[in-house]
Amino acid sequence: EVQLVESGGGLVQPGGSLRLSCAASGFTFSDHYMDWVRQAPGKGLEWVGRIRNKAKSHTTEYAASVKGRFSISRDDSKNSMYLQMNSLKIDDTAVYYCVRGFSGFDSWGQGTLVTVSS
Amino acid sequence: DIQMTQSPASLSASVGDRVTITCRASQGISGSLTWYQQKPETAPKSLIYDASSLQGGVPSRFSGSGSGTEFTLTISSLQPEDFATYYCQQYKSYPYTFGPGTKVDIK
């Protein structure tokens, strides 16, 4: 069974930084593209970014709203993905989901809440 | 960016009703579309991928159709557990984008 577990969310001040982690199990993590998707309170879903697999050199893509501030990385030896978030803004407040990228997003974690507030 | 729209924004239906939700893309996306179901306080769940392929474990009352710019999600006989919000999403090109959602509630 595919399992994705996010951690690292919390309260941070505007301009601050936070690093989210995603621990994967139940599948061959290194083979898969992985993504982050977020959902602001009471709002819809927004794709944040993607990291490809080793075969594609772990290249990344980002939404315009986070490009230059957020960075996605992975450690295939630990079956883990990370989201480094810098220069956080109030508008970044959301539940952040770790998702497996396959024909859309076929598996989702439970999400971790990031609140940006002073 | 490819803009995704959904209609209706919300609907009220009864158990046993046939429900259809429409999703439109601002430009052609072939069949690169997924439908998700989200219940309150839970993560979305993939229902349909590649516009018409049923995700494993999803009941056969859910079906998807369409290609290009217009897509539909149909629930053939609405069940109590189907009351939720439904989103479409394109994965034809970056940035991947979602529709605004359709909330299905009890009449």
- The tokens 């290249």 sit on which residue? A59
Percentage above 70 pLDDT, chain B? 100
Q: What's the number of CA atoms in the CB half-sphere (13 Å) around residue A82?
A: 11
**What's the rounded mean pLDDT across residues A6-34?**
98
**Which pLDDT belongs to residue A18?**
98
* Predicted local distance difference test score (pLDDT) of residue B50: 97
- How far is residue B22's CA from residue B8's CA, in Å, rounded to a whole number? 7
Q: What is the pLDDT of residues A94-116, one digit of tens each?
A: 999 999 998 889 999 999 999 99
pLDDT confidence of residue A102 = 85
pLDDT in tens, B80-89: 999 999 999 9
| Residue A28 burial class via C-beta count within 10 angstroms: exposed 0-12, middle 13-18, buried 19 and up | exposed
Contact at CB, A103 and B34, closer than 8 angstroms: yes
Contacts of B94 in chain A (CB under 8 A): 50, 61
Partners of B5 in beta bridges: B24
* A61 neighbourhood in chain B, CB within 8 Å: 94-95
DSSP states along B15-61: TT--EEEEEEESS--TT-EEEEEE-TTS--EEEEETTTEEPTT--TT
Average pLDDT over residues B41-45: 97
Residue with tokens 């996605």: A72
**Tens digit of pLDDT for each residue in A35-61?**
999 999 999 999 999 999 999 999 999
CA–CA gap between residue A82 and residue A89 (Å, rounded): 19
| Percent of chain A topping pLDDT 70 | 100
Cβ-based contacts of A104 with chain B (< 8 Å): 33-34, 36, 46, 49, 89, 91
Determine whether the interchain pair B43/A106 forms a contact, defined as Cβ–Cβ distance below 8 Å: no
Q: Give A41→chain B minimum CA distance, Å.
A: 10
| pLDDT value, residue B106 | 86
Predicted pLDDT of residue A103: 85
Q: Which amino acid is at B5?
A: T
| pLDDT(B107) > 90 | no
